[in-house]
Amino acid sequence: MCPTIAVNAPVGVMDSGVGGLSVLKHLARQLPNEHFTYFADSAHAPYGNKTATEIQQRCFEIAETLIAQGAKTLVVACNTATAAAIGAMRQHYTLPIVGMEPAVKPAAAASKNGIIGVLATTGTLQSAQFAALLEHYGQQVQVITQACIGLVECIEQGQLDTPHTQALLRQYCQPLMDAGADTVVLGCTHYPFVRAHIQAIVGPAVTLIDTGAAVAKRLHQVLAEKELLNTANEAGDFVFLTSGTQATQRVMHTLWNISA
């Protein structure tokens, strides 16, 4: 056990914006006794069009903020940030850090026809991490990737049901459907908030996969290994921080109170 870290200290969760709230929901369900501090970097969203250096700089600044808040571990609840920065963060910090990855492996296992689609940001799809996932798990399946330019911005603004958002979703899902994908990976933590709309477009026979539950399972494992699980018989609480505006805070409140 780490003697300098209290088991009732919060878990710090970071994302480029509000999308990581979809991961936080999974964390809270699986670890109901844990306290969480969430940071939405909405003033700098999206990360998908930034360089790795820029993303690393933001991740380190947010990590410092969360550590100053007493975080006992960090969850990088952003696929793009994980790909760009988690390696450098793990070299720099001693506390445990859990990241994301697009669910290529479970999608390949779930697919019946061997055709899977991946909806993600440009940054994620162009990353070495994603290339490694394809190399390891995509050899026996056909993987159709689709960069969803502009979709994160819509969700950041709380525009889940607008005609523009719906048009983007149809535009980005169509190539996957044309290719015959029977399984689609939601490769950005923002996308579960429009999951119902995606499902309506691709049809009920297509399986949608996100990685929130897997990240929660991994966090539980890491905290247990480090003897940092909060076993107190109490419900965890939540602190929400953002680099964004009051409008961001309103969107966070709205998304936190809906199902994802």
16 annotated as ligand-binding: yes
Q: Which of 78, 148, 154, 173 is catalytic?
A: 78
Query: Is 2 noted as a catalytic residue in this protein?
Result: no
Task: Please pick, among 59, 148, 173, 188, the residue that the annotation labels catalytic.
Answer: 188
Whether residue 49 is annotated as binding a ligand: the answer is no
Bridge partners of 143, per DSSP, are: 116
Name residues whose C-beta falls within 8 Å of residue 156's C-beta, 6 or more positions apart in sequence: 17, 18, 19, 42, 45, 46, 190, 248, 251
Q: Is the dihedral of CA 7, 11, 215, 28 positive or negative?
A: positive
Cβ neighbors of 212 (< 8 A, separation 6 or more) are 22, 23, 25, 26, 27, 189, 192
* Separation between Cα atoms, residue 170 and residue 246, nearest integer Å: 30
Residue 79 known to bind ligand: yes
| Separation CA 121–CA 150 (nearest Å) | 9
Whether 189 has a binding-site annotation, put simply, is yes
- Any binding-site annotation on 47? yes
* 8 is an annotated ligand-binding site residue: no
Q: Kindly list the strands in the beta sheet with 73-76, ordered across the sheet, starting from the edge strand earlier in the chain.
A: 97-98, 73-76, 11-15, 36-40, 238-242
Residue 173 a catalytic site member? no
Q: Look up residue 145 and give its amino acid.
A: T
Active site residues: 78, 188
Q: Which residues are annotated as a binding site for substrate?
A: 15-16, 47-48, 79-80, 189-190
Q: Tell me the binding residues.
A: 15-16, 47-48, 79-80, 189-190
